[in-house]
Structure 1
Amino acid sequence: MGNGMNKVLPGLYVGNYRDSKDAAQLDRYEITHIVAIHDAARRLHPDKHYLCVLASDSPEQNLSQFFPLCNDFIHAARLRGGNVLIHCLAGMSRSVTVAVAYIMSVTSLNWKEALKVVRVGRAVANPNLGFLKQLHEFEESRLADERRRLKERYPSVALVDSDEEQCQLLLVSYQSLILSRDICDGQCAYGQVCPTGLCRVSSKSRIFRRKGSQKGTSPPTSGRSSPRVLPPTPPARLRSCPSSASLPASLLADDSPGPHRSASRLSMLSDAGAGARPRTTPLMPHAASTWRVRERAGSAPVSPRASPPATPRHSWRLKKS
Structure 2
Amino acid sequence: MQSLAQEIKSFSKANLRKQCTRVTTLSGRRIIETWKGSTVQVVEETVQPETACGYIQDNNWDLQVGYIKPYLLLGSQDAAHDFGTLKKYKVTHILNVAYGVENAFPDLFIYKTLSILDLPDTDIISYIEECAQFIDQAKKGVLLVHCNSGVSRSVSVVIGYLMLKENQPFGGTFALVKSARPASCPNPGFMEQLKNFRPQDATQANVQRNSPSQKR
Confirm or deny a common fold (TM above 0.5).
yes
Alignment correspondent of 2:96: 36
- The residue number in structure 2 matching 1:64 is 125
Aligned residues of 2:92 and 2:109 also touching (Cα < 8 A): yes
Deviations 1:218-273 (A, max 9, x none): xxxxxxxxxxxxxxxxxxxxxxxxxxxxxxxxxxxxxxxxxxx73555xxxxxxxx
Q: For the residues of structure 2 that align with 1:145 and 1:117, how far apart are their CA atoms? A: 22
Structure 2 CA distance, aligned partners of 1:117 and 1:133? 18
C-alpha displacement of 1:109? 1.1
1:42 Cα deviation (Å)?
3.2
Structure 1 CA distance, aligned partners of 2:191 and 2:201?
20
**Greater relative CO (CA pairs within 8 A, separation 6+):** 1
Tell me the TM-score normalized by structure 2.
0.64
Percent of aligned pairs sharing the same letter: 25
Say if 2:98 and 2:148, in contact at 8 Å, map to a contact too: yes
Q: CA deviation at 1:38?
A: 1.5
**1:121 aligned residue (151, 176, 180):** 180
Specify which of 185, 204, 207 is matched with residue 262 of structure 1: 207
| Larger proportion of helix | 2
Q: Deviations over 1:53-93 (max 9, x none)?
A: 11111111122111100000001211xx1111010111110
Tell me how far 1:145 sits from its aligned partner: 6.3
Provide the residue aligned with 1:48 in structure 2: 109
Give me the whole-angstrom Cα distance separating, in 2, the residues matched to 1:122 and 1:62. Answer: 23
Paired amino acid for 2:152:
S
* TM-score, normalised by the number of residues in structure 1: 0.44
Structure 2 residue 177 is matched with structure 1 residue 297 = no
Larger strand fraction of residues: 2
Aligned to 1:112: 171
SS at match of 2:122: coil
What is the one-letter code of the residue matched to 1:105?
Answer: L
Alpha carbon RMSD of aligned pairs, Å?
Answer: 2.1
Letter in 2 for 1:262: V
**Number of residue equivalences:** 151
Q: Which amino acid aligns with 1:5?
A: V
Q: Which residue of 2 aligns with 1:170?
A: none
Distance in 2 between residues matched to 1:49 and 1:130, nearest whole Å: 30
Whole-Å separation in 1 of the counterparts to 2:186 and 2:160: 12
Which stretches in structure 1 are left out of the alignment for 5+ residues? 150-260, 266-295, 299-321
For residue 22 of structure 1, report the CA deviation from its aligned partner.
0.4
Which whole-Å CA distance do the structure 2 matches of 1:64 and 1:24 have between them?
32
- Is 1:18 paired with 2:45? no
1:7 aligns with one of 52, 67, 90: 67
Structure with larger Rg = 2
Q: How does 1:269-280 map to 2 (within 5 A)?
A: none
TM-superposed deviation, 1:103 = 0.6
In the alignment, the residues of structure 2 paired with residue 49 and residue 56 of structure 1 have an alpha-carbon distance, to the nearest angstrom, of: 22
